[in-house]
């Protein structure tokens, strides 16, 4: 299988590249600013002509688009940039995928839901209602991705791992330095282990399974609970992790209170269940 990863320097992208290579797939991947060990092509997906050219040159079977403007608070003030990357840029990828006859896999977000605790876990058929601009642009990206005739849309949540910088690598650094961490205890989701998400992307591509799938871990928990489990499993002092409310913490963009997703449809489709945080953290030790 010929796999083209957009955003290969990121957490999910780097895991896809590593797993694809270990499977024997032919893989190319892109970076935006800084080349890494897992990337070999510079690409800004907001450049439609360049996007079409590099995809046509490689002629992939599967394209996985992981590239996004992820800074949720910055999206509120840098709206043109957020839309350019998350919506218009995704449209460029989808158009190029269609021209190349490739299967597009697009990574969206759990934030497309409003976060009503009484409505969770959300299923793929539940009504979309973004409450911040980041989520609006990612949902626009979902619609843009559907330009491709063969497309799979995945909705992960709180992606974590160690392949690149993310919340877990930051928290581990703070715990190692014996620093106190103040973590919100009223934002609930179903965290997603990056290697599991990468495996799902490759399995879906291999089987040419299209459609919309929630793609999160099986356990619902707050950011605070998630961090306590991290400290506990990795042998750090859990008393270093202190709870705080979202209101006390203060964030520019509103967050869903509970964005837990039901990913059972994906698990059935690929015959694989993602790991819960405790199990994943054991692997990271």
Q: How confident is the model at residue 228 (pLDDT cuts 50, 70, 90)?
A: very high
What does the block give as tokens for 266? 């994906």
- What b/e readout covers 12-44, taking b as 16+ CB neighbours within 10 angstroms? bbbbbbbbbeeeebebbbbbbeeebebbebebb
Task: Report, as an integer, the average pLDDT of 245-252.
Answer: 88
Q: How confident is the model at residue 252 (pLDDT cuts 50, 70, 90)?
A: confident
What does the block give as tokens for 127? 């009504």
The CATH code of domain 2-163+191-217+260-275 reads 3.40.50.720
Q: Does position 56 have pLDDT exceeding 90, yes or no?
A: yes
Q: Does position 278 have pLDDT exceeding 90, yes or no?
A: yes
Predicted local distance difference test score (pLDDT) of residue 285: 79
Dihedral, CA of residue 269, residue 20, residue 164 and residue 108, to nearest 10:
-40
Q: Name the pTM for this structure.
A: 0.97
Pair 274, 267: CB distance under 8 Å? yes
**Separation between Cα atoms, residue 110 and residue 241, nearest integer Å:** 25
Predicted local distance difference test score (pLDDT) of residue 269: 97
Cα→Cα distances 223→10, 184, 191, 260, 280, Å: 21, 6, 9, 12, 16
Predicted local distance difference test score (pLDDT) of residue 163: 82
CB-based contacts of 221: which residues, under 8 Å, 6+ apart?
188, 189, 190, 191, 229, 277
**Which of 192, 186, 174 lies closest to 241 in space, CA to CA?**
174
């Amino acid at each position: 299988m010929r796999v083209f990863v957009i955003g290969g320097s990121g957490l999910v992208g780097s895991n896809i590249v590593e797993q694809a290579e270990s499977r024997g797939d032919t893989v190319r991947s892109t970076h935006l600013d800084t080349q890494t060990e897992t990337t070999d092509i510079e690409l800004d997906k907001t450049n439609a002509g360049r996007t079409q050219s590099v995809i046509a040159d490689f002629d992939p079977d599967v394209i996985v688009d992981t590239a996004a403007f992820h800074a949720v608070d910055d999206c509120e003030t840098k709206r043109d940039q957020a839309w350019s990357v998350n919506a218009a840029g995704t449209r460029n990828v989808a158009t190029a995928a269609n021209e190349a006859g490739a299967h597009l896999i697009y990574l969206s977000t759990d934030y497309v839901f409003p976060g009503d605790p009484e409505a969770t876990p959300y299923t793929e058929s539940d009504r979309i209602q973004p409450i911040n601009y980041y989520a609006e642009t990612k949902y626009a990206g979902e619609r843009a991705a559907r330009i491709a005739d063969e497309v799979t849309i995945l909705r992960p949540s709180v992606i974590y791992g160690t392949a690149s910088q993310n919340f877990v690598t930051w928290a581990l650094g703070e715990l190692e330095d014996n620093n106190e961490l103040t973590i919100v205890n009223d934002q609930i989701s179903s965290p997603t282990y990056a290697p599991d998400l990468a495996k799902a992307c490759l399995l879906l591509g291999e089987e040419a399974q299209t459609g919309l799938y929630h793609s999160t871990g099986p356990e619902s928990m707050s950011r605070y609970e998630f961090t306590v489990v991290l400290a506990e499993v990795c042998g750090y002092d859990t008393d270093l992790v202190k709870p705080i409310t979202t209101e006390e913490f203060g964030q520019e963009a509103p967050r869903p209170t509970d964005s837990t997703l039901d990913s059972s449809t994906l698990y059935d489709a690929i015959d694989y269940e993602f790991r819960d945080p405790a199990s994943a953290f054991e692997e990271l030790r």
